[in-house]
Structure 1
Amino acid sequence: MLKLFRYLKAYRVQVFLAIFLVFLQTLSELYLPNLMSDIVDKGVVNGDIPYIWKIGGFMLLVAAGGTICSIVASFFTAKSATGFGKTIRSKVFTHVETFSQEEFDKIGTSSLITRTTNDIFQVQQVLTIMLRMMVMAPLMCIGGIIMALSRDVKLSWVFVVSIPILLLVIIFVQSKAIPLFQMMQKKLDNLNRVMRENLTGIRVIRAFSRIDFEKKRFDHANLDVANTAIRVNKIVAVMMPAMMLILNFSTIAIVWFGGIRINDGDMQVGDLMAFIQYAMQIMFSFIMMSVMFIMIPRASVSAVRINEVLEIKTKIVDPEVSSKSDDTFHGVIEFQDVSFRYANAENPVLSNISFKAEPGEVTAIIGGTGSGKSTLLSLIPRFYDVSSGRILIDGIDVKEMNQQELRKKIGYVPQKAVLFTGTIAENIRFGKEDASDEEVEHAARIAQAASFISEMKDGFQSMISQGGTNLSGGQKQRLSIARALVRKPVIYLFDDSFSALDFKTDAALRKALKGETKDATVLIVAQRVSTVMDADQIIVLEEGKIAGIGTHHELLKSCDVYREIVSSQITEEEVG
C-alpha cells in the first residue's frame, strides 16, 4: 500500500494540515482531564466558585478549539483522500488503456472493473481513517500513559495487565480476518463477472428461457460473497465486545484500587477522576488502532491488486523512434512466415502465414470456424504481436512503427459491432473527430445506413442506447462500417462485417465500397462465398494454415477446402 501513497504528493499540504490539526485536537483532549482534576481538587473541595468558573471557562475554550480542529481536519482529510482516489482511478484507467489484448485477457474485464471501483474505494476509505487515527491513536495512547503516570504511578499497573490482553485480541482478529479479506475480493470479481454476463446477455437468456438458471447462478455468487462477509464480520464482531469488556474491567480495577489509595490518603478524588479519563483514552486509542488493523489488511489486499495492474508492462510497446511517417504511408501489407500462439495455449492459432496485399486490391480471407481468420486480422493493428515471423507495411515491420500512427491509417470494423451511448453522428465521428456533417452523411450513404437513419425521428441526432440495443444487428454493422469509412484510411480491415446484412444490402454495400476504397488496401474476413467471390485474391485458411491463395476461379480448380466451402453455400450453376 505504501507504493500507492506516492500519489499523495499532490495533496501533501492538505495531508500536513490534517495531521497537524489532529495533533492539536489530541492535545486538547489530553489536557481536559487535567483541568477537570484541578476543578475537583482545588475548586469543589475548597468551595472556590470563582476558580471553578475560571477553569470551567478555560475548559470550554479548549474543548471548542479541539472541536474546530476536528472539523477542519475532517475537511482536509476528505479532500486529500478523495483527491487521492481520483488520481489512482485516473492512473489505473490511463494505464489500462495502454494494455494489449493479451493483458486484457490475462486479468479479465470484470476484475479490472472491481479493481478500479471497489478496490480503490477500500484504499481511499482506509486513508481517510489513517489520516485521523494514525496521529490520534498513538499520541493519545502515549500521552494518556504519561499523564496517568503523572497522577499515580502505582495505579498504572492496571495497564500492565490490560494492554497485553488488548494486543492479543487485536492480533487474533487480524490473523483470522486477512485471508478472508483476500478471498472476498476474488469473490467480488466473480460476482461482478456473473452480473456483467447477465446484463449483456439478457436477450439470449430470455430467448432460451434461462432466467431461473441465471438467477440461481447469481444467487450462488451473491451468497458466496455474503457468507464470506458474514464470516469476516463474525470475527471482527468479537473484537469490540472483548475490548469493551477489558475496558470496563480496567475501570472497575482503577476505581477499586483508586478508592483504597484515596482512603489511605495517597491520592485525591480529582486525580482518580482524571486517571479514569486517561485510562479510557488509552483504551479507546487501542480500539482506534484495532479499527486500523482491521481496515488496513483489507485495504492492503486491494492495494496489491491495484499495484498488480499498475505494474503490468504491456508487451506491445512503441519504438523509441518511429520508422514510418504519415506522408510515406501507402498501405502495402506483407506477412512473412507469421505464426501466432495465444498465451498458455498448447497449439499455435496461425502457422507460417505468408502473403501480400496491395493498395487498390481486395484481399479476402475465408475458412472454417476457428481457422484463425479474425486473429490474422487483429495482428495488423497490433492488438497482438506475432509469435514469430514479421508483418510489414510498406516494407517496415509494424513493431517498428508507432501504434497510434499505425492505427490512424487503419479503418477497422470488428466482428462484433460495438457502438457507444450517444447520437448516431457521434458514433460515426468516433472514426474522425473533426468530420463535417457532409463527411458523416457520405460515410453513412456508402455504408447503406442512410436509409434507416432518415426514417428515425431525429435522423443523425437520434440517440443510441447503451450497447446499441435499440438497433438491429445489421444496422449496428452498417454504422460500424460508416465509422471506419469516415476516416478515409489507407488500410481497411473488415472482420466478418457483413454477416448480419441481407444479400441485397451486402451486394449494394460491396458495390459502393469499390469506388470508396479503390486506392486503399482492403482485407475482408467473411463466411459467405458471395462476399469474397469478386476479391482480387482469396486466402483460404484451414486450422491456422494457408490452404490456398488465388482468385475465385483459380481456387475452384486448385483448392479442395475452398471447393467444399463453395459447394456448401451455392449451387453448381452459381459457381459457373
Structure 2
Amino acid sequence: MKQSILSYLKPYKLHVGIAWTLMLIELSVELMLPFILGKMIDDGIEVGNYDQVIFWGSIMIGLALLSFSAGITNSFFASHATYRFGYDVREKLFEKVQSFSFKNLNDYPTSSLITRFTNDVRQVQTGIFMALRIMLRAPLLALGGVIMAFIVNWRIALVFFISVPLLIGFLFFLLKKGSSLFKKVQSRLDFVNRVMQENLAGIRLIKAFLRKNHEKSRFMDANTDLMKRTKTSYRVIESSMPVLLFVMNMSLIAIIWLGYIEVGNNQATTGEIVSIVNYALRVSMAISMFGFLTMAFARAKASVERLQVVMDAEVDLLEADDADDSHKITEGKVEFSNVTFRYPGLKANVLDNVSFTAKPREKIAIIGSTGSGKTSLFQLVPRLYDTNEGKVFIDGYPVERLKLDNLRKAIGYVPQAPLLFTGSVFDNIAWGKNDATEAEVMQAAKDAQIHDTLANLPNGYQTKIGQKGVNLSGGQKQRVSIARALIRQPKILMLDDSTSALDLKTESKLLEAIQEYECTTLIVTQKVTTAMESDRILLLDDGELIAEGTHADLLQTNDLYQKVVESQFGKEEAYDQKAAR
C-alpha cells in the first residue's frame, strides 16, 4: 500500500497538536493586543484615567509574557516533530532504495537520489517547521485581524473586503507557478550533482587526459543553467512583495482617511482607529510574509512530489508469495535452461536461449568477446535481474522460488570493477560476513593471496583505505574483494573478470587455494591460461552459447576458440597445443 510522505508525521501528531495549540495561544494574544490598546486609549488616555492605563497596560505585559512562553515552547515541539520526520523519511527512503532492482536503479541516477536524500528532505522539513511555527499563523493572523477589525468598527473594516480577496487570489497563483518552477530547479540541481559526481570519480583520468578545461566548461554549462532557473524562480516569487505591500499600503491610507471622517462624524473613537490601524499593520505583515512562505511552500511541494515518486516506485523484482524459506543452498549446482534475457527498455536480447549445467564444486570458465553477455549471465544467478524466457535453477530450485536472503547468502560475488568502502582493510574484508572473526578475515586474505601485502601496510589490517580503495593498486583491490567473497564460505563463487590485474603466478596460487572451498566456481575471464585451469569452458558469442568443453576439446573443435588462443599465444604455440592433444 502506497504511503504519503506527509503521513510520516503521524507518529508525532501529539507534538504537532501541542505546537499548533501553542501557536494559537500566541496568535490569540497578538490579536487581542490592538483591541486592548484601543481600550487603554479610550478609557484611560482620552479621559485622563491613569488607573485604567495601568490596568490595561498590566494585562498587555502579562499577555506578552504568555505569548513569549508559548512561542519558545512551540519552537521546541515543532523542531522535534520536524527533525524526527526527516529522520524517518530518510530511513524509509534508504530502505526503499535498498529494495530496488537494477532496473529501478537505472531509472534514478545516483546524483538524483542523493539530492532527494539531502536537499529534498531538507526542503520538506523546512516547510513542515514553518507550517508548525508561522505558515498557519500568517493566514490565521490575516483572517483574525480582519475579523477583529470588524468587531471594533465594521464600517472602516469594509476596506478589507476589497484588498484581502485580491491578495489571496494573487498568492494562489504564485503558489501554483512557484511549485512548477522549483521542480525544474531541483531537476537542474540533480544534473549539477551528477556532473560533480562524475568529475570527482574521474579526477585522475581528467588530469591524465588533460581534460580540465573541457570538464570545467561542462560544469559551467550545468551550473549556469541551474543559476538561470533559480534566478527566474526567485524573481517570480520576490516580485510578489511589491504587489502585496502596495495593496496593503493603499488599504492603510483608506483606513486612515475613513477613520478621519468617522471620528469627525462621531461614528468612531480615536482608540478604535488606532486598533484598526494596528490590525491593518498585522494583516499587512502577515500577507507580506506570504511571499516568503509561498516560496518555501512551493519548494517543499516540489520536493514532496519528487520524494513521493521514489517511494511509490514499483519494485519489479520481488520474492514470490510461495518462496520456500526452508530451502537452503547446500550443493551449489547451477543450471540455465533455455535462458533468454534482455535489459528493460531494450529490444535486443543480451542472452539468447542459453543452456548449461555447472555441477557442485565444478570450476567453469566463461570466455567471450566484449558484449557477448558474460556479465549479464552472472547477474541472473543471484537474481539481480529476472529472465525474459527460460529458467535459472540453483540446486534444482528455480531462483524465483528461493528466498532472496537464502539465495544471496550462498553466493560470493566479485564484480568486474572492485568496490571498496572507506574504512580499514579489515572492515572491508569482514564486510562480506556478519560477525566475522579476525582468524576468518586473515584466512580469507591468505587464500586471496593478499595477506603478506596487508600485513606489511603501516597499520596492518587496520590500515585505513580511501573511498573505493584509492590508495591500493588494481591487483590489491581485486584480491581484497575476492577475500571479501571467500569469507562467506560460499556455495557458489562468482569471479567476474576479477583476476585481470593479477600476474599468472599469483592467479595460479589463488585458483589453487579456491579448490579447498566447497563451492561451485564460475569465472568470467579473458585469459586462456585461466580457462585452461578450469574443468569446463563456456564460449559465448553475441549472447549465444556456441560451444562448451575443456580447453583441449575446444581447441580441436571450435574455430573461434582457436583464434582466441592464437591471439594470446601466437599461431605456433596454439598449433603446438592442438597437435599435442
How far residue 132 of structure 1 moved from its aligned partner, in angstroms, is 2.4
Q: Distance in 2 between matches of 1:551 and 1:324?
A: 37
**CA offset digits 1:295-349 (Å, max 9, x no partner):** 3332222111111111122111112343364656211100000011111112011
1:558 paired with 2:557, answer yes
Q: Distance in 2 between matches of 1:328 and 1:125?
A: 49
Match for residue 194 of structure 1? 195
Instruction: Extract unaligned runs of 5+ from structure 1.
Output: none
Match for residue 146 of structure 1? 147
Q: Distance in 2 between matches of 1:352 and 1:10?
A: 52
Q: Distance in 2 between matches of 1:12 and 1:201?
A: 46
User: Mean alpha-carbon deviation: is it higher for 321-330 or for 275-284?
Assistant: 321-330
**For residues 78-117 of structure 1, what are the structure 2 equivalents within 5 Å?**
78-117=79-118
Q: Distance in 2 between matches of 1:520 and 1:513?
A: 8
Q: 1:46 is aligned with what amino acid?
A: V
Q: In the superposition, relative to structure 1, how do residues 138 and 170 fare at CA in structure 2: closer, same or farther (>3 Å)?
A: closer
Q: Secondary structure at the match of 2:434?
A: coil
How far residue 383 of structure 1 moved from its aligned partner, in angstroms, is 0.9
Q: Distance in 2 between matches of 1:362 and 1:328?
A: 17
How far residue 390 of structure 1 moved from its aligned partner, in angstroms, is 0.2
Q: Distance in 2 between matches of 1:557 and 1:43?
A: 115
Q: Distance in 2 between matches of 1:526 and 1:345?
A: 26
Q: 1:447 is aligned with what amino acid?
A: A
User: Mean alpha-carbon deviation: is it higher for 276-285 or for 184-193?
Assistant: 276-285
**For residues 168-317 of structure 1, what are the structure 2 equivalents within 5 Å?**
168-317=169-318
User: Percent sequence identity over matched residues?
Assistant: 39
| Contact in 1 for aligned 2:328/2:406 (Cα 8 Å) | no
Match for residue 354 of structure 1? 355
Match for residue 533 of structure 1? 532
How far residue 190 of structure 1 moved from its aligned partner, in angstroms, is 0.6
| Contact in 1 for aligned 2:182/2:233 (Cα 8 Å) | yes
Q: Distance in 2 between matches of 1:393 and 1:441?
A: 30
Q: Distance in 2 between matches of 1:428 and 1:119?
A: 34
Q: In the superposition, relative to structure 1, how do residues 68 and 2 fare at CA in structure 2: closer, same or farther (>3 Å)?
A: farther
User: Mean alpha-carbon deviation: is it higher for 266-275 or for 156-165?
Assistant: 156-165
Match for residue 340 of structure 2? 339
Q: 1:32 is aligned with what amino acid?
A: L
Q: Distance in 1 between matches of 2:177 and 2:435?
A: 57
Match for residue 55 of structure 1? 56
How far residue 573 of structure 1 moved from its aligned partner, in angstroms, is 5.1
Q: In the superposition, relative to structure 1, how do residues 206 and 425 fare at CA in structure 2: closer, same or farther (>3 Å)?
A: same
Q: Secondary structure at the match of 1:97?
A: helix
Q: Secondary structure at the match of 1:353?
A: strand
| Contact in 1 for aligned 2:191/2:222 (Cα 8 Å) | yes
| Contact in 1 for aligned 2:566/2:573 (Cα 8 Å) | no
Match for residue 524 of structure 1? 523
What is the alpha-carbon root mean square deviation over aligned residues? Answer: 1.6
Q: Secondary structure at the match of 1:444?
A: helix
Q: Distance in 2 between matches of 1:327 and 1:71?
A: 58
Q: Secondary structure at the match of 1:523?
A: strand
Q: Distance in 2 between matches of 1:29 and 1:557?
A: 95
How far residue 133 of structure 1 moved from its aligned partner, in angstroms, is 3.3
Q: 2:554 is aligned with what amino acid?
A: L
**CA offset digits 1:455-491 (Å, max 9, x no partner):** 2111111111111111111100000000011111110
Match for residue 429 of structure 1? 430
Q: Secondary structure at the match of 1:386?
A: coil
**CA offset digits 1:209-238 (Å, max 9, x no partner):** 111111111111111111111111111111
User: Mean alpha-carbon deviation: is it higher for 469-478 or for 240-249?
Assistant: 240-249
Match for residue 67 of structure 2? 66
Match for residue 410 of structure 1? 411
Q: Distance in 1 between matches of 2:3 and 2:275?
A: 38
Q: In the superposition, relative to structure 1, how do residues 165 and 20 fare at CA in structure 2: closer, same or farther (>3 Å)?
A: same
How far residue 149 of structure 1 moved from its aligned partner, in angstroms, is 0.8
**CA offset digits 1:146-199 (Å, max 9, x no partner):** 211122111122112222332343244334323221211111111111011011
Q: In the superposition, relative to structure 1, how do residues 212 and 107 fare at CA in structure 2: closer, same or farther (>3 Å)?
A: same
Q: 1:536 is aligned with what amino acid?
A: D
| Contact in 2 for aligned 1:130/1:292 (Cα 8 Å) | no
Q: 1:51 is aligned with what amino acid?
A: Q
| Contact in 1 for aligned 2:420/2:481 (Cα 8 Å) | yes
How far residue 442 of structure 1 moved from its aligned partner, in angstroms, is 1.1
Q: Distance in 1 between matches of 2:243 and 2:510?
A: 75
How far residue 285 of structure 1 moved from its aligned partner, in angstroms, is 3.0
Q: Distance in 1 between matches of 2:329 and 2:455?
A: 39
Q: Secondary structure at the match of 1:215?
A: helix
Q: In the superposition, relative to structure 1, how do residues 552 and 397 fare at CA in structure 2: closer, same or farther (>3 Å)?
A: same
How far residue 506 of structure 1 moved from its aligned partner, in angstroms, is 1.8
Aligned pair count reads: 574
Match for residue 451 of structure 1? 452
Q: Distance in 2 between matches of 1:175 and 1:492?
A: 55
| Contact in 1 for aligned 2:45/2:53 (Cα 8 Å) | yes
User: Mean alpha-carbon deviation: is it higher for 557-566 or for 12-21?
Assistant: 557-566
Match for residue 509 of structure 1? 510
Q: Secondary structure at the match of 2:357?
A: strand
**For residues 484-499 of structure 1, what are the structure 2 equivalents within 5 Å?**
484-499=485-500
**CA offset digits 1:539-571 (Å, max 9, x no partner):** 111111112111101111222221111111113
**CA offset digits 1:361-406 (Å, max 9, x no partner):** 1011000001110110011001111111100011100000011111
Q: 2:309 is aligned with what amino acid?
A: E
Q: Distance in 1 between matches of 2:386 and 2:465?
A: 34
Q: Distance in 2 between matches of 1:121 and 1:172?
A: 24
How far residue 111 of structure 1 moved from its aligned partner, in angstroms, is 1.2
| Contact in 2 for aligned 1:332/1:358 (Cα 8 Å) | yes
Q: Distance in 2 between matches of 1:396 and 1:28?
A: 71
Match for residue 76 of structure 1? 77
1:420 paired with 2:421, answer yes
How far residue 46 of structure 1 moved from its aligned partner, in angstroms, is 1.2
| Contact in 2 for aligned 1:496/1:526 (Cα 8 Å) | yes
Q: Distance in 2 between matches of 1:241 and 1:327?
A: 70
Q: In the superposition, relative to structure 1, how do residues 328 and 264 fare at CA in structure 2: closer, same or farther (>3 Å)?
A: closer
| Contact in 2 for aligned 1:133/1:288 (Cα 8 Å) | no
